[in-house]
Amino acid sequence: MRKLKDRLRPVWELYRDGFRNMTWGRPLIWLILLKIFILFAILRVFFFKPAMAGMSDREKSEAVGERITQQTNHQKDTLNLLSD
């Protein structure tokens, strides 16, 4: 356990000191955090809900199967004309 800790210490220090000593990179980190917040806490939650959320796989295949096999009358008429 101690060995693992000793090995991980330099990795931890790399990140810790890196973030601590940042100069020009600091606003970039804030920019990334702001963007991730906007993406996941606002856009994802309020604007981009998956259209099939909450449906089981069976229900999803039913819904998509129905849509795919659905034809408009116009399409049928066109195809009938072609086959004539």
Partner 1 sequence: MDVVIWSRIQFAMTAAYHWLFVPLTLGLAFVMAVMETIYVVKKDDFWKKTAKFWMKLFAVNFAVGIATGIILEFEFGTNWSNYSWFVGDMFGAPLAIEGILAFFMEATFFAVMFFGWEKVSKKFHLASTWLTGIGATISAYWILVANGWMQNPVGTTFNPETVRSEMASATAFWEVISNPVAVSKFFHSVTSGWLTGGIFVVGVSSWYLLRGRQKRFAKSSIIVGGLVGLLGCACVMLSGDSSGVHAAEFQPMKLAAAEGLEDGGRGAAFTIVPGIRVPKMLSFLATHDFNGYVPGINDILRGYTDNDGNVIPSVAEKMQRGRTALDALAAYRSTEDPAAKAAARAVLDANVQYMGYGHLEKPEDVVPPVGIVFWAFRFMVGLGMLLGLVLLLSLFFAWKDRLANMRWLMWAAVICIPLVYICGQCGWIVAEVGRQPWTIQGLLPVNVAISSLSAGAVRTTFFVFLAVFALFLAIEIRIMLGAIRKGPDVEPENA
Residues that bind partner 1 (CB under 8 A): 10, 13-15, 17-19, 24-25, 27-29, 31-32, 35-36, 38-39, 43-44, 47-53, 57, 60-61, 63-65, 67-69, 71-72, 74-75, 78-79, 82-83
Type of residue at 70: Q
Our CB check for partner 1 shows the closer of 1 and 52 to be 52
DSSP 72: -
Our CB check for partner 1 shows the closer of 3 and 36 to be 36
Our CB check for partner 1 shows the closer of 8 and 14 to be 14
Report yes or no: 29 and 22 within 8 Å, Cβ to Cβ: yes
CA angle 11-16-22, nearest 5°?
125
Question: What does the block give as tokens for 69?
Answer: 């096999």
- Least distance (Å) from partner 1 to the CB of residue 3? 20
- Least distance (Å) from partner 1 to the CB of residue 49? 6
